[in-house]
Amino acid sequence: MITISKPSSPSSANTSTPSSQTNPPSSTPLHPSSNPSSKTASSTSNSAQPPASTPPSSTTQYISILLNTISSFETSNPSLHTRLILSIDRRHDFTTASSILDLALSLPGNIVGLDLCGDPAARPNGEVALFTPLFEKAREAGLGITVHFAEAESSASPEELKTLLSWRPHRLGHVICEDVDTKREIALRKDELCLELCLSCNVHAGMVKSGFEGHHFGEWRAVEGVKVSLGTDDVGIFGSPLSNEYRLVAQHFRLDKSQICALAREPIDHIFGGELEKERLRQIMWP
């Protein structure tokens, strides 16, 4: 899942491409992760100032450009399907965040989910509860929910993690600094959650200190039943397409071809593409 951060706009847009979320490393998809994904995870802005709001028309025009581009691409590449996830930045005020949700709800079919992203140091110690009504409304309306979760120590307080899990998200991005109780809770919810893990991003950005071999992918893979979706977050910065992320886990965690293919299939049930798209992908991945 790519997050396109637009600091001058009240929204960011993730491209969520169901077909590429599950592609094995033999292909290089348009959209590098799940995914399903960061959004995948999304990039974190380093700006000290909160994103400035712009007139709603500007945001709508921005999203329209993305949708038109996606439509043109799918016309030429009908087997690759792309949808958008809009992101609420942690630094947004409630009004701006609400306008992002309204935009998402106004474009059903094209916008399939809502994400929480942004500077992990913003709104610490559970202050993200400000957005609880919006994520509850989004879920009730049928949008997929994905959040940047325990991305850094500053966003991993017990209060925050409890708040984010109360939103009943479908996917969790990064999942680096969670405590023991939270790990246990995630394991208990394994049937309803998918973890979006981004090796290159986490290692090169210094988010994990033990290199690829010590990345928590290995820890979560060892938990029976927990689904993992590899992501890039993002390919434009770290230069690692999704196919390379599969290569990295094969290399550093000694996965063979059958294990890599099984890993690529895992996120299908957790994409934000609807049942028809899930079934289409099952047919592709189990020919």
Residues labelled as active-site residues = 151
Q: Which of left, alpha, beta for 44 (phi over 0: left; psi -120 to 50: alpha)?
A: beta
Q: Name the 3-class secondary structure at 152.
A: coil
Sign of CA dihedral 256, 261, 264, 268: negative
Specify the DSSP class assigned to residue 270.
G
* Separation of CA 193 from chain center: 12
Q: Is the dihedral of CA 204, 207, 210, 213 positive or negative?
A: negative
Q: What is the dihedral of CA 182, 186, 189, 190, to 10 degrees?
A: -170
Task: Determine the straight-line distance between the first and last CA of the chain, rounded to whole angstroms.
Answer: 25
Nearest by Cα to 196 from 154, 145, 247, 157: 145
Q: Is 257 helix (H, G, I), strand (E, B) or coil?
A: helix
